[in-house]
Structure 1
Amino acid sequence: MRWIVLLAMILGLLIAPVGSFLPGAHHRTSHTISTGSVLAQYYFNQGLFFAYGFNYAEAYRSFQTAVKLDSHCAMCYWGMAYVLGSNINTEMPTDRMPLAWETVQKAVSLQNTVTLAERTYIQALSKRYTASLNYDRASLNLAYANAMRKVAQSYPADLDAATLFAEALMDTTPWNYWQNNGKPKPEGQEILDTLQSVLEQDRNHIGALHFYIHAVEEKHPKLAISVADRLRDLHLPLGHLVHMPSHIYLRVGRYQDAVRSNQDAIAVDQKTRTQNGIYRFAYMPHNQHFLWYAATLAGEQQIALQAAEQTAKLVDPDLLRKPGYGTLQHYLSIPLYAWVKFGQWDKILVHPAPEADLAYPKGVWHYARGLAWAHQNELQKAEIELKQLRAIVSSPVLNGVTIWDVNTTADLLEIGSEVLAAEIAARRGEIEPAIEWLRSAIAKEDQLTYDEPAPWHSPVRQSLGALLLVQKRSVEAAQVFREDLAIYPNNVWSLQGLARSLK
């Protein structure tokens, strides 16, 4: 067996840049397909591993390499077509449909060479794509999910079928699996039941571990604590999967564990050559972004500031203005947010202005400068920054710039403008108006759609609690800090605030 692995690694290097061979990936996810090529099977397994880890560019390259090794491998074409589709973070671009349709049709043309089970995979995926240029993406996603449900029901021992069905159902309602009362929606319940069944049969199924974390993290993160620990203990060779436990650790107040998960994820990605496509531009900065946020809640200033600066450094400037890449503008702004949180006012004031056409980063810059001037009691200068910030907030251009297609940057800067207005008012001695500004900002913060890390950089309740504490309104401050701790358990800012309130 060792010579096969060695040969595969050598061929992986020779075949590159079509598809890199990632040691340890092919046996982490094993799904036997109809092929006469051992290496094609290896690359198929690796492709599925990458797909379960949201590294779709490398997944595609792995499946593509499998096709080069066995041009009659129907499931290898299936894999290529599968990773071209939508996922919970990204809707499939319209211009990708022709390639996806052509690729899945190639799999269909070869379906008589495979097992009946594989044929059902291919037929189900064919419902996800169309030859027409006029189509309803939601209807196609639902058709695919319904077809994969039948595959999973027909082959209950096939845990990949069940996992792919759960993922397909998640794609029909991304990041929206729960009712406001904390109970799952019908789709959410089916997703949970399916993934729990998979994990009962294989407690270390990588896809099910990953998807289950996403399914429960918003409303019931404690359900996935053991899942997060198991995923962490697998020590996988893909950064995003190493990072994933931190989605749960952050929600349950295990901030040091979240810090370590992201430090480990960053180290894994730096060691491997699997850094292509959106994974490189979005998921790698996401690890640094998450590290900054977890370290901030833990009060780890040095780690947080370094991670914030690294987040910005990983941004590709050529993509900042590209439609759909608003998240990169957010990443670019993280150092300013970090300097605000840790009171690095001099750094803020010497930081150059973003380019004028980057409205969101420019707004964050005005927000940070306004707070910096206010903390130096330069209130007229702070007012000028607030005025410029409000002008940007009122601009319609922000509505098209979103964070992961979840929250608009206009929503964030509106919160920022109210926080800045509160700071200016408080320093003028206008305490009640300042409190009202902060309560208004809290209401807006609470209305933001769930995302991790949280879309607004610093929980506004922490600012309100601090203001109330300064005004010796300890009972009110304690209540606000308790509310914040209910959302961000064990965060050092509100723990310290609560302790001072109770003295």
Structure 2
Amino acid sequence: MNTTLRLGILVATLSISHPLAAHEGPANSESGSNPDNTIGTIDFRADCSQSVRADIDHALGMMHHMMYTQARSEFEAIIEDNPDCAMAHWGVATSLFQPLWGTTPSDADISRGQQAIQQARNAAEDRREQLLIEATAAFFETETDRVQERLAGWTGGMDTAYQAYPDDLDVATLYALSLLTKALSAEDRKALHNEAEQVLRTAWKAEPSHPGAVHYTIHATDADGRGDNATEIVDSYTRIAPNVPHALHMPSHIYVRLGDWPRMIDWNQQSADVAVNHKIEGATSFHYIHALDYLVYGHLQRGEDSAARRVWEAAQANGPHQGNFPGAYHLASIPARLAVETRDWKAAAAITPQTPDYISWDKFAWPDGLSWFARGLGAVHTGDLETAREAEQQMAALVESAKTAADGRFTTYIEVDRRILAGSIAQAEGDSERAIELMRSAGELETTAEKHPVTPGALLPPYEALGDLLLALDRPVAALQAYEDSDRTWPNRYNTLEGAARAADAAGDAESASLWSRRLKDAAPDNERTFTAI
């Protein structure tokens, strides 16, 4: 497949409606001369015809960018003219599962992956390629209904490949990705993240524009307390692939960890502008609404509520959206986030779960739980405890159903929110101590699971909720401690900063009140909400 054909595939799947140069931001100064198909530097040297090696590199680069559908299209195009290219068949199979996204491949995907693996095996002669093929084969040939067990086969296979070829950049970066996959369900996440970071930094030093080295580094440092670890690598991403929407979005995973809302907003606006016309089977790619949810979150933390609502209006106008897990998550989270963050409890109470109806909501317990959480909170605050209790019961049922999900963290996320809602109900029923106990237990539970990469942040962090509760109970010193605890995990959130300022003022701590008030003013200079500086 030549460059012209590859560009044709890219244009067909990623139509760009706005030139990147129209935006101001760190990427523009170095991206203007890059062609549309720039994806970074890959030099895999596939054991295929010399004429298609560059095409394999490009498709592999797209897979490192987690543009899985586009990568698969490119690998399939290579197979049409080069059916004996083992890595093209391997690429088709490997693009059918997404290790960090918590998705469950369909039966059709499993069957397709098995067929592609067999074709790859039949064509492979190179030992390095055989090891990569067997790693992917372990995913598709494990007899189980649990995606985690399938992924365990792949991570084991990648360990074998890496031990044999530790200096191969693509093997090394995929191995690092497998470590991050293992960390999703491991007790000692820190050790796995440490090793992944080390492997990826070594790869980045060898080739600073390798997309896997940069992309997976962001995931390795998108963890509590790690956001500052590799900002020089993170900041390089958009220069590598200035027209790949996921590349334009990824740095914001670190900016949200650092509470840097202007950068988060800038990059996600650019990502959304690139992704908006990216269609998959008639639906707008989830990369678009993924960027929009991060945009909404950023605007809300700056008190720019009108801008956040306009983003949601744009999302609704540019649907239907892809009906996969990320698409479902954001379609649920954005309206819930707008209501809960702005404390618009009437809007929260009016949320209808499982909307829109073109999403198969029964497959997505956590996204469904977000709607019930917001609805329940709205019901509590508008005095409808019967509806609030119904929402809490629905969430309890979703906790059980999520136990069979691809990602074991889903049960934790739903249960954290359920406890917050249960605490709110207990407070409304007059049992303040029970309410505090539930809120604290939600905060403790939250620490057992890292933030999922699909989300910019919680709808209502548990320690922020605890701070609100304690402040309402006239316990400002304890409330301030809760807000401080929340700020360490979710820094620079508008409601945390405002709550801390009010708690400090109520506690008679003028110096602390002034500090938190200044932080809020700095984070939200164009604040639309009512807040008098302390």
Instruction: With the length of structure 2 as denominator, give the TM-score of the two structures.
Output: 0.74
Q: What is the alpha-carbon root mean square deviation over aligned residues?
A: 4.0
Within the candidate set 169, 182, 195, 1:159 is matched to 169
- Structure 2 stretches lacking a partner, 5+ long: 17-33, 511-534
What is the match of residue 263 of structure 1? 269
Within the candidate set 404, 409, 418, 1:406 is matched to 409
2:477 and 2:14 map into 1 onto residues whose CA distance is 61
What is the match of residue 175 of structure 1? 184
Identity percentage of aligned residues: 21
Which residues of 2 match residues 92-107 of structure 1 at below 5 A?
Answer: 93=106, 95-107=108-120
Report the alpha carbon displacement of residue 66 of structure 1 after superposing the two structures with TM: 1.7
Structure 1 residues 270 and 207, CA, compared in 2 at 3 Å: closer, same or farther?
Answer: same
Structure 1 residues 280 and 194, CA, compared in 2 at 3 Å: closer, same or farther?
Answer: farther
Letter of the 2:245 partner, please give it. Answer: G
What is the match of residue 532 of structure 2? none
3-state SS of the aligned residue for 1:223? coil
1:240 is the counterpart of 2:242: no
2:395 and 2:14 map into 1 onto residues whose CA distance is 44
What is the match of residue 339 of structure 2? 339
2:353 and 2:35 map into 1 onto residues whose CA distance is 44
Report the alpha carbon displacement of residue 223 of structure 1 after superposing the two structures with TM: 0.5
- Structure 1 stretches lacking a partner, 5+ long: 113-117
What is the match of residue 184 of structure 1? 191
Letter of the 2:439 partner, please give it. Answer: L
Q: Which has the higher contact order (CA 8 A, sep 6+)?
A: 2
Report the alpha carbon displacement of residue 169 of structure 1 after superposing the two structures with TM: 4.0
What is the match of residue 44 of structure 1? 56
Instruction: With the length of structure 1 as denominator, give the TM-score of the two structures.
Output: 0.78
Structure 1 residues 232 and 372, CA, compared in 2 at 3 Å: closer, same or farther?
Answer: same
Q: Which moved more, 1:415-424 or 1:193-202?
A: 415-424
Within the candidate set 8, 28, 36, 1:13 is matched to 8
2:97 and 2:372 map into 1 onto residues whose CA distance is 39
What is the match of residue 115 of structure 1? none
Report the alpha carbon displacement of residue 414 of structure 1 after superposing the two structures with TM: 1.3
2:286–2:322 Cα contact (<8 Å) kept: no
Letter of the 2:235 partner, please give it. Answer: D
Report the alpha carbon displacement of residue 266 of structure 1 after superposing the two structures with TM: 0.8
Report the alpha carbon displacement of residue 235 of structure 1 after superposing the two structures with TM: 5.1
What per-residue deviation string (whole Å, max 9, x for no partner) do you get for residues 116-141 of structure 1?
Answer: xx542234313431696747635631
Report the alpha carbon displacement of residue 265 of structure 1 after superposing the two structures with TM: 1.0
Letter of the 2:465 partner, please give it. Answer: S
1:477 and 1:370 map into 2 onto residues whose CA distance is 23
What is the match of residue 200 of structure 2? 195
What is the match of residue 393 of structure 1? 395
What per-residue deviation string (whole Å, max 9, x for no partner) do you get for residues 128-165 of structure 1?
Answer: 31696747635631442133214423xx2x32232233
1:224–1:248 Cα contact (<8 Å) kept: no
Which residues of 2 match residues 82-97 of structure 1 at below 5 A?
Answer: 82-85=94-97, 87-89=99-101, 90=103, 93=106, 95-97=108-110
1:372 and 1:16 map into 2 onto residues whose CA distance is 44
Letter of the 2:197 partner, please give it. Answer: L
Report the alpha carbon displacement of residue 27 of structure 1 after superposing the two structures with TM: 5.8
Structure 1 residues 414 and 123, CA, compared in 2 at 3 Å: closer, same or farther?
Answer: closer
What per-residue deviation string (whole Å, max 9, x for no partner) do you get for residues 308-339 of structure 1?
Answer: 5556777758948xxxx497156325303321
Report the alpha carbon displacement of residue 302 of structure 1 after superposing the two structures with TM: 2.5
Within the candidate set 99, 113, 120, 2:128 is matched to 120
Report the alpha carbon displacement of residue 301 of structure 1 after superposing the two structures with TM: 1.9
1:196 and 1:77 map into 2 onto residues whose CA distance is 29
Structure 1 residues 432 and 412, CA, compared in 2 at 3 Å: closer, same or farther?
Answer: closer
2:160 and 2:79 map into 1 onto residues whose CA distance is 25
Q: Which moved more, 1:40-49 or 1:94-103?
A: 94-103
What per-residue deviation string (whole Å, max 9, x for no partner) do you get for residues 373-401 of structure 1?
Answer: 5545xx3xx21222222332343685238
Structure 1 residues 330 and 450, CA, compared in 2 at 3 Å: closer, same or farther?
Answer: same
